[in-house]
Amino acid sequence: MTKLTPFEEDNLPAEQPSPDDQSGMRRWKLRQLKEAERDPYREVRYDRTHTIAELLSKFDDLAGKKARIAGRIMAKRGHGKAIFLDLADQDGRIQVYANVDTLGDERFEQLKAVDIGDILGVEGEVFKTRTGQQSVKATECTMLVKSLEPLPEKWHGLTDIELRYRRRYVDLIVSPETRERFRLRSKIVAQMRRFLEDERGFMEFETPVLEPVCGGATAEPFVTRWEALDDDFYLRIAIELRLKRLIVGGFEKVYEIGRIFRNEGVDTQHNPEFTMLELYWAYVDYNDIMQLTEDLVVHICDSCLATRKMEGGKGPLSFEPPFARVQFDDLMQEHAGVSVLDLPDRKAAVARAKKLDVEFDKDAGYEKILDRIWSERIEPHLIQPTFVLDYPVAVSPLAKRIPDRPHLAYRFELFANAVELANAFSELNDPVEQRVRMEEQIARATEGYRELDEDFLRALEYGMPPTGGLGMGIERLLMALLGEQSIREVILFPQLRKQ
């Protein structure tokens, strides 16, 4: 008998608790293990000969040979003097068979005491049962972790949405779909980097998340306090203005995949923190960026999903290039019955919105009303991947004006599944015009915290070459590619209220 620490004495029951108290039962079992000098938490490593997926893929060669595997017990089927366990590791699941003849009485009784959720190392012979089930016949079992909480029901798993988010680790244990979704997220981001770096020669940089002034988008920032300086700072709402400084500095192909924070509400399309790919490419225009964007998305389809066709929430999607390319104004004329040329001011926009039955806040400014018409009347039609080109300058403060159509800017957005995936410009590099447009934007802003990023304007004054830039919401892309309707399904730990 090993003497327990006072903490263990207090927290691990000495007597068998009520069977209803499942975690109590497990703690009681843990105490017995510790007292018998079989404390599972003492184990520091377990040498595996194979992962379960490897073992299964080489099963015929390994049959009759010894193997060592490890994983979590997902099911337990007692059978008198024999027992079956399902053992799962990261990529596979296999049956373990054990009987009293091969293990002996003592070790067989120990194995019978394991609970679903415990983590076990198993050494044994690779074999098939008489029903042909690929299995390992245990000759030695090592308890690697005692799980103190019971897992959800084996058939339905965890369906309570709140619990799935708050205890994502449990969701990952019991839901292969969840594991697969986040495995794909990791792979897609990795392939994004591989494509940009290895195939296109971009360099990734990391720019500050904490900023003295925030810009690059219109959104409410999170404010935080830098105590040492006794001053407020902001969590960035975009990466744009930082990366453009790198173009000024002479780097020609730069990108960052990073976290963005926007102090806004939560819904199926929005999480207060999300991940954005932003890239800037000197000496090219938005047509080159459009081609790059299409190539990138197709590369991800081919390398991660092995298909360019998928089931979106609003019907089947085909990412077969070339994606449709359509003028913003053509869509306006088709679905809103008006050209932006005929909506020169707020009054005209209000009249059109009313005619279209598009509701808007009575304080809404000109851009906001245009945006409302757009999202109510046009966006719902953009199911298949579509590049929408040449937006009104009024809603594109960082994009270069088109000289022979001065009310429009060199800007495109990529839509799929009726959601915006990406936003790109031929970047405005005229420091004088940029200052005017930013000042106009600030003057119209209804929310606080808007001030000119003077240092960005100074950078433009030093001279930024003609540049194309892109911003792409990673979660939005994942939703479109994986057919998910809620952004929380592609974010491991979505923001929820404190409990």
Partner RNA sequence: GAGCCAUUAGCUCAGUGGUAGAGCAUCGGACUUUUAAUCCGAGUGUCGCAGGUUCGAAUCCUGCAUGGCUCGCCA
- Tell me the closest approach of the beta carbon of residue 14 to RNA, in angstroms: 16
* Alpha-carbon gap, residue 243 to 202, rounded angstroms: 12
Q: 454-493 in b/e burial notation, b at 16+ Cβ within 10 A? A: eebeebbeeebeebbbbbbbbbbbbbbbbbbeebbbbbee
Nearer to RNA, 80 or 406 (CB): 80
| DSSP per-residue string spanning 311-340 | EETTEEEE-PSSPEEEEHHHHIIIIISS-G
**Residue 303 gets which letter from DSSP?**
I
- Tell me the closest approach of the beta carbon of residue 213 to RNA, in angstroms: 17
Nearer to RNA, 146 or 253 (CB): 146
Nearer to RNA, 211 or 282 (CB): 211
- Tell me the closest approach of the beta carbon of residue 38 to RNA, in angstroms: 17
Geometric angle at alpha carbon 209, from 207 and 212, rounded to 5° = 100
Token digits for 115?
Answer: 């609970």
Q: Could you tell me whether strands 210-211 and 223-226 are parallel, antiparallel, or unpaired per DSSP bridges?
A: unpaired
* Residue reference for tokens 């960035």: 236
Nearer to RNA, 236 or 262 (CB): 262
- Tell me the closest approach of the beta carbon of residue 429 to RNA, in angstroms: 21
- Tell me the closest approach of the beta carbon of residue 256 to RNA, in angstroms: 16
Nearer to RNA, 161 or 190 (CB): 161
- Tell me the closest approach of the beta carbon of residue 97 to RNA, in angstroms: 6
Nearer to RNA, 253 or 368 (CB): 368
- Tell me the closest approach of the beta carbon of residue 88 to RNA, in angstroms: 13
- Tell me the closest approach of the beta carbon of residue 420 to RNA, in angstroms: 5
**Residue 380 gets which letter from DSSP?**
G
Nearer to RNA, 14 or 161 (CB): 161
Nearer to RNA, 121 or 215 (CB): 215
Nearer to RNA, 131 or 198 (CB): 131
Q: 178-188 in b/e burial notation, b at 16+ Cβ within 10 A? A: bbebbebbeeb
- Tell me the closest approach of the beta carbon of residue 419 to RNA, in angstroms: 7
* Alpha-carbon gap, residue 352 to 346, rounded angstroms: 10
Q: 295 by DSSP, 3-state: which?
A: helix
Residues forming beta bridges with residue 138, ordered by sequence position: 124
- Report, in angstroms and rounded to the nearest whole number, the Rg of the chain calculated over CA atoms: 29
Nearer to RNA, 70 or 217 (CB): 217
Phi, psi of 70 (to 5 degrees): -145, 150
- Tell me the closest approach of the beta carbon of residue 100 to RNA, in angstroms: 5
Do the Cβ atoms of 340 and 329 come closer than 8 Å? yes
* Alpha-carbon gap, residue 23 to 17, rounded angstroms: 9
- Smallest CA-to-CA distance from 489 within 499, 476, 498, 472 is with 476
Residues forming beta bridges with residue 127, ordered by sequence position: 135
Number of Cβ within a 10 Å radius of residue 380: 11
